[in-house]
């Protein structure tokens, strides 16, 4: 089969009518152009050009006909390349996101909403998963992107660069206003009615582990399964709730809830956005979702 590059040289010479001009357009030497034409004529078994005083002229028996065919073929190939580039730069298909329902609802949702407005043709699926489950879904290519707790030690997982802090704080309604201007010793928190997320959640597990390291035991007044319920109970004065700050920014801003300072503070927890390191290049749809996280300064 004839090398496609030889046909491109032939087409350029035919359009330019000169070996010199064709060489300039192709950014190769004139001898290289001449050699390419000879090679193509040899492989096809006939002459394509006649040398004339004004340059190169297509032969009537072969050259003219070949130009018409090659021109159509090259245009089709160029069109296919342009179409492929266009497809690669349009977000389509499905984006599968894995994270805990709390992170999806109270953190990722604003990015998902923005992404959907920009790329309505992308189908988004959400999977409520623990960090361990998310890693497994990413590794088995059952999820495209996930939000997990850090650190992560897995050679098949790639941390995209978007990492953020989770700061767990204690908050309460005006019922506990006498505590707002104080700093409470963490060891004294068991003396107050504390509201916690269910102990099966990562949030509660890590907090309980930290308290245990300080020999502090908190028996919650209530344990609930959702942040929404925890917030409502705190707003209604049922106790002092332990909630990640970034989930209640509006309530704090509107003075519906107030932070209660404790010492020592609960340790910061880190989260990160991960994708698979293995396999093919990531889709444009996935790259755009990561870009949106990055542009919004994920914290």
pTM: 0.61
Helix locations, 131-283, DSSP H: 131-139, 202-213, 227-235, 249-253
Extended strands (E) in 80-186: 94-99, 123-128, 145-149, 157-166, 168-172, 183-185
Of the candidates 100, 96, 109, 99, the residue with the CA atom closest to the CA atom of residue 143: 96
Is the torsion defined by CA of 248, 251, 254, 258 positive or negative?
A: negative
Tokens encoding 71? 């021109």
The CA distance from 81 to 205, in Å, is 53
3-state SS, residue 131: helix
Average pLDDT of the residues of the chain: 89
Under DSSP, the state recorded for 100 is -
Say if residue 87's pLDDT is above 80.
no
**Residue 152 confidence class, pLDDT cut points 50, 70, 90:** confident
The CA distance from 277 to 288, in Å, is 17
Total residues found in the chain within this entry? 299
Please report how many Cα atoms fall inside a 13 Å half-sphere around the Cα of residue 225, on the Cβ side. 1
**Residue 103 confidence class, pLDDT cut points 50, 70, 90:** confident
The CA distance from 184 to 221, in Å, is 18
User: pLDDT, tens digit, for every residue of 220-278?
Assistant: 999 998 889 999 999 999 999 999 998 899 999 999 999 999 999 999 998 999 999 87
Helix locations, 109-216, DSSP H: 109-118, 131-139, 202-213
User: pLDDT, tens digit, for every residue of 180-190?
Assistant: 999 999 999 99
Q: What is the DSSP string of 21-52?
A: HHHHHHTS-HHHHHHHHHHHHHHHTS--EEEE
User: pLDDT, tens digit, for every residue of 50-69?
Assistant: 988 888 999 988 899 999 99
């Amino acid at each position: 089969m004839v090398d496609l590059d030889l046909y491109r040289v032939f087409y350029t010479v035919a359009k330019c009518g000169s070996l010199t001009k064709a060489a300039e357009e192709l950014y190769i030497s004139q001898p290289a152009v001449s050699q390419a034409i000879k090679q193509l004529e040899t492989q096809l078994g006939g002459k394509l050009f006649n040398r004339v005083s004004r340059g190169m002229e297509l032969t009537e028996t072969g050259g003219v006909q070949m130009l018409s065919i090659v021109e159509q073929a090259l245009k089709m190939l160029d069109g296919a390349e342009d179409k492929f580039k266009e497809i690669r730069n349009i977000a389509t298909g499905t984006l599968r996101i894995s994270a805990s329902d709390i992170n999806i609802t109270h953190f990722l949702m604003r990015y998902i909403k923005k992404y959907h407005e920009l790329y309505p043709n992308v189908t988004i699926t959400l999977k409520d998963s623990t960090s361990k489950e998310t890693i497994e879904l990413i590794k088995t290519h059952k999820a495209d992107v996930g939000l997990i707790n850090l650190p992560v030690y897995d050679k098949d997982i790639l941390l995209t660069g978007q990492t953020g802090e989770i700061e767990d704080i204690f908050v309460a309604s005006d019922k506990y206003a006498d505590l707002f201007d104080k700093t409470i010793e963490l060891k004294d928190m068991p003396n107050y009615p504390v509201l916690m997320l269910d102990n099966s959640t990562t949030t509660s597990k890590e907090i309980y582990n930290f308290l245990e390291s300080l020999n502090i035991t908190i028996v919650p007044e209530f344990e609930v399964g959702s942040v929404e319920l925890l917030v409502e109970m705190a707003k209604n004065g049922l106790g002092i709730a332990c909630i990640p700050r970034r989930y209640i920014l509006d309530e704090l801003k509107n003075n519906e809830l107030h932070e209660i300072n404790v010492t020592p503070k609960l340790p910061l927890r880190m989260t990160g956005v991960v994708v698979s390191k293995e396999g093919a290049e990531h889709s444009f749809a996935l790259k755009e979702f990561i870009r949106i996280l990055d542009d919004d300064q994920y914290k």
